[in-house]
Amino acid sequence: MQKDNIQALGKLIATPKNVLVIGHKNPDGDAIGSCMGWALFLRSLGHQVEVIMPNDYPDFLTWVPAQEEIVLFSENPDSVQKSVSDSDLIFTLDFNHFSRLGEDFARVLKSSDSTFVMIDHHEQPDDYAEVCISHPEYGSTAELVFECIFHLDMLDKINKEVASCLYLGIMTDTGSFKFPSTTARTHEIASVLITKGAKSSEIQQKTFDSSSYHRLKLLGQAMQNLKYLPEYSTAYIHLSQDEMDKNNFQKGDTEGFVNYGLSIKGVVLAAIFKEDKNQNIIKISFRSKGNFDVNKLARTHFHGGGHINAAGGRSDLSLKETMEKFVHLLDAYKTELNAAL
Ligand SMILES: [Mn+2]
């Protein structure tokens, strides 16, 4: 972490300000955890803080401390617009490009003359932030938030609530400390957070063991649709709109499904293709093992991006055509795929 970034950050938060903390569209555990953790920390320093998300988040995150005060742009565009113009300082967490907010919200931020600070762990950050704390080598934004507080020498400000939020972000973005981005330092940080009051087992339970009956039925359908291509070390799943409707699909229900493909022995690349008839697109998530770069794959072929081992994208083709395109592409990556492990 760069010293001058921390100094600049320290200066910005040294006096009470009107602060917004903003996460990305379709917020996940890291977006909610890092934003709420950072917001509660800032509030303890005397700042006026509002947390804004572009749209709603899944039910399994409704246990998060103070999440009930999150303002959704999708439901309150006017009040958010006012908050943005009244703000002195805007933190954007867990994303690095306004396009991750959706068009309308992005426009509001583009026209703001607030000071922006980015804290994020995705590849290729945009240049809108005065202070840009961008570290793709980190497993989660929540871990980066912890490092900021650590380098600011303010660990004493981490109470049970802040600790629980940050633990959530680290836990969800590292697949419960499984992904390669998990380091000795990650465990060290988790240990500090537990000491500060985060209840590891309880947080795991509240986050992961909160499935609905319908979600498990949908997982069953997804597993029925699982395809395995050993010659490309690849497995993929699809869900049609019809299959999701039949199983009463709720936001967040397919979270983690893609990892089942990756759990097959020898599989290096896994994908899930979900039909979205509302937006008339196919939503795609990619996961990989080893050094096979799904960020590059998603950026080059599916209008997306993310990290080396986890990325997302979309396609305007039909579900069937999208999967055909994907399978067709694999040939060009065959050597890379079979050498990644
Ligand atoms: Mn993240």
Q: How far apart are the first and last CA of the chain?
A: 30
24 lies in the same domain as 53: yes
Structural domain tally of the chain?
A: 2
pTM here is 0.89
Asked if pLDDT for residue 211 goes beyond 90, the answer is: no
| 198 and 328 fall within a common domain | no
148 and 271 share one domain? no
Measured in angstroms, how far is the CA atom of residue 246 from the centroid of ligand 1? 31
331 CA to centre of ligand 1 in angstroms:
30
Distance 339 CA to ligand 1 centre (A): 27
Q: How far is the CA of 231 from the centre of ligand 1 (A)?
A: 31
Q: Distance, CA 142 to ligand 1 centroid (Å)? A: 8
Q: What is the pLDDT of residue 180?
A: 86
pLDDT digits (tens, 9 = 90+) for 111-147: 999 999 999 999 899 999 999 999 999 999 999 999 9
Ligand 1 centroid–CA 138 distance in Å is 9
Does one domain contain both 63 and 160? Answer: yes
Ligand 1 centroid distance, CA of 13 (Å):
23
Q: The CATH number of the domain where 159 resides is what? A: 3.90.1640.10
pLDDT class of 56 with cuts at 50, 70, 90: very high
In angstroms, the CA 20 to CA 38 distance is 10
Whole-number pLDDT of residue 2: 87
Closest CA to 268 of 332, 323, 338: 338
Q: Give distance in angstroms: CA of 260 to centre of ligand 1.
A: 20
pLDDT digits (tens, 9 = 90+) for 87-112: 999 999 999 999 999 999 999 999 99
| Residues 274 and 202 reside in one and the same domain | no
pLDDT band at 252 (very low <50, low <70, confident <90, very high): confident
Same domain, 91 and 219: no
User: In this predicted structure, what is the pLDDT of residue 326?
Assistant: 98
**Per-residue confidence (pLDDT) for residue 1, from 0 to 100:** 83
Distance 205 CA to ligand 1 centre (A): 20
- 246: CATH: 3.10.310.30
Cα(299)–Cα(302) distance, rounded to whole angstroms?
6
Using pLDDT thresholds of 50, 70 and 90, give the confidence band for residue 27.
Answer: very high
Q: Is the pLDDT of residue 210 over 90?
A: no
Amino acid at 230: P
DSSP state of 53: E
Q: What is the pLDDT of residues 269-304, one digit of tens each?
A: 999 999 999 999 999 999 999 999 999 999 999 999
Residue 234 near residue 222 (C-beta atoms within 8 A): no
- Taking only the tens place, the pLDDT of each residue in 152-187 is 999 999 999 999 999 999 999 999 999 889 999 999
In this structure, the answer to whether residues 146 and 259 fall within a common structural domain is no
| Same domain for 217 and 95 | no
The rounded Å distance from CA 114 to ligand 1 centre is: 24
Residue at which a domain ends, from 180, 208, 236: 208
204 and 226 share one domain: no
Q: Specify whether 81 is located in the same domain as 127.
A: yes
HSE toward the beta carbon, residue 5, CA cutoff 13 A = 18
Cα 92 to middle of ligand 1, angstroms: 12
310 in the same domain as 223: yes
d(CA 221, ligand 1 centre) in Å? 28
Show Cβ contacts of residue 205 under 8 Å, excluding neighbours closer than 6 positions.
none
Is the pLDDT confidence value at 227 over 90? yes
End residue of a domain, out of 182, 208, 234: 208
- Picking from 156, 189, 208, the residue at the C-terminal end of a domain is 208
Gap from CA of 214 to ligand 1 centroid (Å): 27
Range of the domain at 84: 3-208
Cα 286-290-293 angle, rounded to 5 deg: 45
Tell me: pLDDT of 315 over 90: yes
What's the alpha-carbon Rg for the chain, to the nearest Å?
20
Q: How far is the CA of 34 from the centre of ligand 1 (A)?
A: 8
Structure tokens at 218: 């949908």
Residues 190 and 223 in one domain: no
